Structure 1
Amino acid sequence: MSVYVAHRLFAAHDRALAADLADRLAAKVGPDRVFLPFCDTDEADLVAEVKGRRLFELDRERLGRLDAVVAILHGPSLDDGVCMEIGYAAALGVPVIVLTTDFQTYSLTEAGIRLEFPDPLLQAVATRIVRVAKLGPLTLPSAPGWSRFQGFQARNVAQTNTALDAAVDALLDLPDRAPLPVDSPAAIGTPVYIEASPYTAWGGDHLAEACADAGHTVVVSQRFTASDPIAGALADLTAVHSAARLLADVSGPETPPGTALLIGAALARGVRIAAFQPRPTLTHAHGREPNWRNLMIQYAVDTHLNNDEAILSWLAT
């Protein structure tokens, strides 16, 4: 079994948590069968002409030959690189176990069904969600002078350990499953799927109008308005798989999680992808070129568009 651990890379505590999970997995399936990004791509010391692209290529190559993904997702702001990797794996039929210790659940309306994540696509594609939402039990002081803060830390450590062990057990319980064949890209003339960003005031109407004015059939997302958001999410995923193009607004503090997932799925299925982002911000890391979005998003898309004229030019190619 070959396992990919998908996690947020950008802070030490996130990397440490993922390393703990990878070590527990390695004890069960063997260290050579667990891939931990940043660690196994040697990101801190990697030298390449275009470092971000090389990291993307290394991760994508590994995503293409997996038996399972275990993804760590916490809180309402989900890592866009992890969501892209989930979409890529799910589109190939690779089982995805999602691990969270978030104590919140989410709904699209006050009376709507409760979701594990803010975007129903994550719940729709996950093979299994391991959710450990409660702190560990109260423990007696381990030493004289033990503060309440140390006690609270111990309860969080216990919660984390429970979650990591449960994720390992979920992986070992997965049934054997052959990856799905990758479909050929859709023929020219089939729909353009439009994915708007919830972070912007302009919505997706102008993207749809630009595509319609250029003579393309347009499909827009329905999961946020469907009476059953999970069914709507699966319909969105099916629509992206059968589209000729995906035009995704990636604006926001991060690429919206469902948008990132659909970009990964489109990449795995050979769908042409354009990212619309009129006001990009750049991230910088030592030894790496500036990135206008998470590098897994930046290098997954065919092109970066910032105005309506650029949209029309991309549609004409």
Structure 2
Amino acid sequence: MNIYFAAPLFAASDLQYNAALVEKIRQRYPEVTIYLPQENAAINDKSAYADSKMIALADTEKVLTSDLMIACLDGLTIDAGVASEIGVAYAKGIPVIGLYTDSRQQGADNQQKLAALQTVAENQFHYVNLYTVGLIKLNGDIYASEAALLEGLAAFLREDN
């Protein structure tokens, strides 16, 4: 099985997190092949040169040859490249499982946090683009932790066999 790992990759913290999570997945599921775009130096070595068409063609080819996409949704907004990759996957019927770990999701049953929604500029929760979320949920699922993501991946791999 080929998995495309869609995630932001421009900050050192992004690169480290992506590599660590992909390594966990590779160790737990050695039978899968994971494409992590940051490992493709031909287009992602930022000291070298790759134009927009080279990047789009290389990553789109990998999305289209994938059986599943894992997409990291964390950040101020969903990374624009990740959102584009999700759109390509959706258009081609490739399932997507998302990881959205933002801690502001917690407390959905806290009455003070819910009441604050009625006050301008007091939203205690994080907003994530609902169009992109909808594309994922139409052909996949979203998990709030790495542990839940790994369980969801296990279920997907069982269903695939």
Match of 1:44 in 2: 45
Query: Do residues 167 (structure 1) and 153 (structure 2) align?
Result: no
Query: Do residues 123 (structure 1) and 133 (structure 2) align?
Result: yes
Change (3 A) 1:45 1:13: closer
Change (3 A) 1:47 1:10: closer
Match of 1:70 in 2: 70
Q: Deviations over 1:274-295 (max 9, x none)?
A: xxxxxxxxxxxxxxxxxxxxxx
Of Structure 1 and Structure 2, which has the larger fraction of its residues in helix?
2
> Structure 2: which 5+ runs fail to align?
109-116, 119-124
Partner Cα separation in structure 1 for residue 102 and residue 141 of structure 2: 15
Change (3 A) 1:15 1:31: farther
* 2:86 alignment partner AA: I
Partner Cα separation in structure 2 for residue 66 and residue 45 of structure 1: 25
Alignment of 1:137-156 (within 5 A): none
SS at match of 2:69: strand
Match of 1:176 in 2: 160
Aligned length, in residue pairs:
139
Contact 1:69 1:94 in 2 (8 A): yes
Change (3 A) 1:46 1:67: farther
TM-align CA RMSD? 2.8
SS at match of 2:150: helix
User: Cα distance, 1:9 vs. partner?
Assistant: 1.0
User: Cα distance, 1:22 vs. partner?
Assistant: 1.1
Contact 2:98 2:141 in 1 (8 A): yes
User: Cα distance, 1:117 vs. partner?
Assistant: 4.5
Give the structure, 1 or 2, with the largest relative contact order (CA under 8 Å, sep 6 or more): 2
* 1:121 alignment partner AA: Y
Alignment of 1:192-271 (within 5 A): none
Match of 1:282 in 2: none
User: Cα distance, 1:31 vs. partner?
Assistant: 7.5
Q: Deviations over 1:157-212 (max 9, x none)?
A: xxxxxx333322211211339xxxxxxxxxxxxxxxxxxxxxxxxxxxxxxxxxxx
SS at match of 1:34: strand
Contact 1:86 1:96 in 2 (8 A): yes
Match of 1:82 in 2: 82
User: Cα distance, 1:122 vs. partner?
Assistant: 2.6
* 1:170 alignment partner AA: G
Match of 2:54 in 1: 54
Contact 2:3 2:32 in 1 (8 A): no
Partner Cα separation in structure 1 for residue 68 and residue 98 of structure 2: 11
Partner Cα separation in structure 2 for residue 41 and residue 32 of structure 1: 21
SS at match of 1:128: strand
